[in-house]
Structures are given as structure tokens and as C-alpha cells.
Structure 1
Amino acid sequence: MKKRITIEKAYITEEKLMLETNETITELVPGEQILVDSDHYSFIYLMEDMNDYTYIILHEQIWPLLKTAEEKKLPVWITFNEEQKELNNFHDEFNYVLNNIKGNSNYGKEMVTKVESIFLT
């Protein structure tokens, strides 16, 4: 099973979106890809280590900040204690996913409705 890291806190500071977690990110490198978890109403940014992928879970509660970051093209960073890493290619991937979800019933009606109401208004 893939390791899952949940974002505990999100905030905008110094012209970037910071996603704070309670797990180390030392060995992780950005995978530059975003997936959709329709069952849990979240987006997943992939990160990699030497062995496998790690899922960075971007749950629905932080979507308003994701929208602000998207609108202002703010870089998105993940942080744990003093560790910080930029989530490379975030906006290109996120826009691709959002455009794919729009009106696409394959993601489930509720997921499409939630995404459209926040990101595509």
C-alpha cells in the first residue's frame, strides 16, 4: 500500500502556499503528477522516494486555499518542521485535472459538483 501523508494545516505566506504535515519529507522528491480520489473528495500530489510513491493528500478543507494559490499562481510547498520542498509543476497538473473533471461523470456527480463550485466558477 502506498504511503499517505495528510496535510494538517495550510496557509499562505511570503507569496506561497504552505502545506504543513506531521511526517518527514526528507527522502521525498516531487513526482510532478496529481491524481483524484473521488471517494474521499481529495486531490493527491505524487512524491517519490527510492522505493515507491507517496501520496500527499489535498483534502477538501484546503481547496479554498488551493483556489487562491491557483488564481495568484503562487508556488505550492510542503513543509515538515524545518524541511520544505516545492511541489514542482503543481499548477500545470492541477489545471489539467480540473479541466478533466469539469462535467465528467466518471468522477462521480458529487465530486464534479464540489470541484465545479469551488474551482470552476
Structure 2
Amino acid sequence: MKKLEVSKIVVEKDQYTAIMQGEIDVELAETLQAGGRMLVDSDGLAFIYILEDESAFYYVNFSQETWPQLREVLSQSATLALRLNKEIEIELSSIVEELSFLTDNIEGNSNYGEEMEKAVQEIFN
């Protein structure tokens, strides 16, 4: 499992694009596929999107600083692409559905921890 950190989300050409800290080499980027599912990191106050290739999972970490833009993606049912390097972007399929499910599930659910629940309510409600 490799962790990829999103530093910001920008709007380019009428599309939301997540920009990572650093880049992935082209050879690896060509093998990655959107996993279509998300997890929650309650301790790190982050949403995690799963990428995968034939041998491993890659966790795309959306820290709390990116949540206002994630809220926009969610409210507009927009697509979100992840820029892996200068040549390759990958669409994060099902991110709106996954994010909607998670934010709805976190609200009023102490299993995610009080801090995560409060942070999600502040941004997504």
C-alpha cells in the first residue's frame, strides 16, 4: 500500500482536478485504475480514495484542507480527476456516490470519532 497525498483541488477546463504532492512515474501511472471506493481515516481526518494495479493498492489521501473543494464536487455531482503526472490523469470513478455515502454515514455516528464527525459536519452540512 502506497499513500498519495493530494495537496489541492483546482478547476481546470470545467473539470475538478486533484493535484498531488509529487508525481508518479509514467510506467506506474499507466497501470493504475480507479478503485471506485473510499475509506475514512478518522485519526488523520481524511477521506481516502483507492487506486489499484495488479499487485497493490494506492491510497489517495484527501486531507481536511481539500474538503471545501470536495464539497463542491459533491454538491455539483461533478467529476474529479487525479493528476498522476504531466501526461496522465485518471478519473476517480464513483467518488460522488462514495463521498455522499460516507458523509451521510458519519453524521451522528460516534464510530468515526467525535473529531471526525464534527469536522465533516462543519464542511459538508
Identify the residue that residue 57 of structure 2 maps to in structure 1. 53
CA deviation after TM superposition for structure 1 residue 27, in Å: 2.0
Between Structure 1 and Structure 2, how many residues are aligned?
Answer: 119
Identify the residue that residue 68 of structure 2 maps to in structure 1. 64
Moved runs in structure 1, 4+ residues, more than 3 A?
A: none
CA deviation after TM superposition for structure 1 residue 26, in Å: 2.8
Unmatched tracts of structure 1, length 5 or more: none
Please provide the CA RMSD for this pair: 1.0
CA deviation after TM superposition for structure 1 residue 9, in Å: 2.7
Unmatched tracts of structure 2, length 5 or more: none
Percent sequence identity over aligned pairs: 30
Structure 2 residue 17 is the aligned partner of structure 1 residue 18:
yes
TM-score by length of 2: 0.90
3-state SS of 1:8 partner: strand
Q: Name the amino acid aligned to 2:39.
A: L
TM-score by length of 1: 0.93
3-state SS of 1:32 partner: strand
Taking the aligned partners of 1:70 and 1:12, their CA distance within structure 2 comes to 14
Taking the aligned partners of 1:14 and 1:74, their CA distance within structure 2 comes to 13
Structure 2 residue 16 is the aligned partner of structure 1 residue 4:
no
Identify the residue that residue 31 of structure 2 maps to in structure 1. 27
CA deviation after TM superposition for structure 1 residue 110, in Å: 0.7
**Mean Cα displacement is larger for which, 59-68 or 3-12?**
3-12
